[in-house]
């Protein structure tokens, strides 16, 4: 790799990578050769005819540059490779978009059509590296805390998280559909019934809601659940995980431990449940201001007069309000055990203690106005599981993208995802959604009615 050449001065090496740039001075030329570890100057005794972004293999001797030609801005600025042979491994055509800028001003559809080129720009290489490092650090911390990483299904049944589901038709059961998970909420609770006590997952979640700067069809959560815990223990665990991982990638946190506000305090103080605690100076210093918000109302009235949940129907109310929930009294006053985590004004996580008694969960769905048959068909499996010894449990999920956007100073979620959807909900590079073969529709027994 390029960065290893620092240790091989005087030796002949073989390097492979991309032509980052070329400078021709008639009889001699220079190539900046790039691989994932950095750039090195290649000296060529003669003219060259290569296009930028061509993939080459160079054999040459690593030499110290004369003092006055040292480039202090480059990690390998003290050395260069004196090329002996250059082989073209894969040529590159004229690029359809510049990749030596930050790319912010280029039309999104062009960037995402050629995302594999767009991703070559240093900003996005850095963003995805930081994302990978952050996720590794989260894993590291949770393994140290005795958590098990367990995957849950992608083809599943709808779990209400307040969005529309993406649904997948079934060939074996025509007319029936899977739903992609809006989150692993139900499965992680079932893992507590199953006795794992401490679970986490880097979970992909799918929500069919209109994309926004910080909202996408797909996002990734650090999703965890714990048994025999109180609210503060789950909050502390998530806080420690995030603090460990953020500090590992070099981020600076403004206030530790994270301040906690009740929903009422937040609304009085900031007129919102998402707020930015940074000063202008904090913003300049790229500090992350994280805070918890707790004690949200469990339910709110919809315009049609029916109740809806504010956060998560699987949550338990605070202990003092459990009997109100069970008796369905003073519904608007019931406070949930929900905790939301915010960072620099964005909601980056949330969780709660859960109902683990069937009657508590049933009462929630009854308040939401679900008839008994619907409760049974939609959530009967949870109500049944809770009759076989389910421990009290709670958990939390933290969306990677929004936190990393804050840290990396990015305004759009697509800047921290490898192959994001466009703002109008189409895939990067590949053209989807797109029609399928009539035979596929026939096999699924589906007819397009348009």
Residues lying near ligand AMO in the complex (CB under 6 A) are found at 161, 183, 185, 207, 209, 215-216, 219, 221, 312, 347-352, 395-397, 399, 401-402, 413
Least Cβ distance, residue 145 to ligand AMO (angstroms): 17
Least Cβ distance, residue 161 to ligand AMO (angstroms): 5
For residue 199, the SS3 value is: strand
Least Cβ distance, residue 216 to ligand AMO (angstroms): 5
Nearest residue to ligand AMO, scored by beta-carbon proximity: 399
Nearer to ligand AMO, 207 or 231 (CB): 207
Closest alpha carbon to 409 in 356, 363, 365, 344: 344
Nearer to ligand AMO, 5 or 182 (CB): 182
- How far apart, in Å, are the Cα atoms of 44 and each of 375, 399, 430, 435? 73, 48, 39, 51
- The separation between CA 155 and the C-alpha centre of its own chain, rounded to angstroms, equals 20
Pairing mode, strands 177-179 and 167-169: antiparallel
Least Cβ distance, residue 310 to ligand AMO (angstroms): 11
Nearer to ligand AMO, 15 or 348 (CB): 348
Q: What are phi and psi of 175, to 5 degrees?
A: 85, -5
DSSP code for 52? T
Least Cβ distance, residue 247 to ligand AMO (angstroms): 20
Question: Per-residue DSSP letters for 88-123?
Answer: EEE-----SS--SS--TTS-HHHHHHTHHHHTTSHH
Least Cβ distance, residue 270 to ligand AMO (angstroms): 17
Nearer to ligand AMO, 18 or 147 (CB): 147
Nearer to ligand AMO, 149 or 443 (CB): 149
Question: Per-residue DSSP letters for 248-316?
Answer: HTT-EESSSSPPEEEHHHHHHHHSSSS-----HHHHHTTEE-EEEEE--BSEEE-TTS-EEESS-TTBP
Least Cβ distance, residue 425 to ligand AMO (angstroms): 12
Closest alpha carbon to 329 in 307, 302, 354: 307
Residues 14 and 4: their CA atoms lie apart, in Å, by 11
Nearer to ligand AMO, 42 or 238 (CB): 238
For residue 415, the SS3 value is: helix
Least Cβ distance, residue 364 to ligand AMO (angstroms): 14
Least Cβ distance, residue 164 to ligand AMO (angstroms): 11
Nearer to ligand AMO, 343 or 375 (CB): 343
- Burial of 304-325, coded b for 16+ CB within 10 Å and e otherwise, reads eeebebbbbbbbbbbeebbebb
Nearer to ligand AMO, 20 or 189 (CB): 189
Nearer to ligand AMO, 20 or 312 (CB): 312
């Amino acid at each position: 790799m390029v960065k290893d050449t620092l240790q091989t001065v005087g030796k002949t090496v073989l390097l492979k990578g991309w032509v980052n740039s070329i400078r021709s001075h008639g009889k001699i030329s220079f190539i900046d050769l790039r691989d994932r570890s950095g750039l090195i100057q290649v000296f060529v005794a003669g003219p060259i005819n290569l296009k930028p972004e061509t993939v080459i293999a160079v054999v040459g001797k690593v030499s110290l540059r004369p003092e006055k030609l040292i480039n202090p801005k480059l990690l390998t600025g003290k050395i260069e490779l004196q090329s002996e042979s250059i082989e073209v491994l894969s040529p590159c055509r004229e690029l359809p978009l510049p990749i030596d800028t930050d790319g912010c001003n280029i039309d999104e559809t062009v960037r995402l059509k050629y995302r594999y080129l767009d991703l070559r720009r240093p900003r996005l290489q850095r963003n995805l590296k930081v994302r990978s490092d952050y996720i590794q650090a989260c894993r590291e911390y949770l393994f140290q805390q005795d958590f098990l990483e367990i995957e849950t299904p992608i083809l599943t049944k709808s779990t209400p998280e307040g969005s529309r589901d993406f649904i997948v038709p079934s060939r074996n059961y025509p007319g029936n559909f899977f739903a992609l998970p809006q989150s692993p909420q139900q499965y992680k609770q079932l893992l507590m019934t199953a006795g794992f006590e401490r679970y986490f997952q880097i979970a992909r979640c799918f929500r069919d809601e209109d994309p926004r700067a910080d909202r996408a069809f797909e996002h990734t959560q650090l999703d965890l659940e714990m048994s025999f815990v109180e609210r503060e223990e789950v909050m502390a665990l998530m806080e420690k995980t995030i603090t460990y991982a953020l500090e590992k990638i070099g981020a600076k946190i403004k206030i530790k431990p994270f301040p906690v506000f009740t929903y009422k305090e937040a609304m009085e103080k900031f007129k919102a449940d998402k707020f930015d605690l940074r000063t202008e100076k904090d913003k300049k210093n790229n500090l992350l201001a994280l805070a918890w918000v707790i004690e949200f109302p469990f339910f709110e009235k919809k315009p049609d007069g029916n109740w809806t949940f504010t956060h998560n129907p699987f949550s338990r109310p605070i202990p003092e309000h459990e009997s109100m929930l069970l008796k369905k009294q003073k519904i608007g006053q019931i406070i949930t055990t929900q905790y939301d985590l915010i960072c620099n004004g964005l909601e980056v996580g949330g969780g709660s203690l859960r109902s683990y008694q069937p009657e508590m969960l049933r009462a929630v769905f009854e308040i939401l106005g679900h008839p008994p048959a619907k409760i049974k068909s939609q959530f009967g499996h949870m109500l049944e599981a809770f009759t076989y010894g389910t421990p009290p449990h709670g958990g939390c999920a933290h969306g990677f993208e929004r936190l990393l956007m804050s840290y990396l100073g990015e305004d759009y979620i697509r800047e921290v995802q490898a192959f994001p959807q466009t703002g109008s909900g189409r895939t990067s590079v590949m053209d989807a959604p797109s029609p399928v073969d009539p035979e596929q529709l026939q096999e699924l027994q589906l007819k397009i009615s348009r």
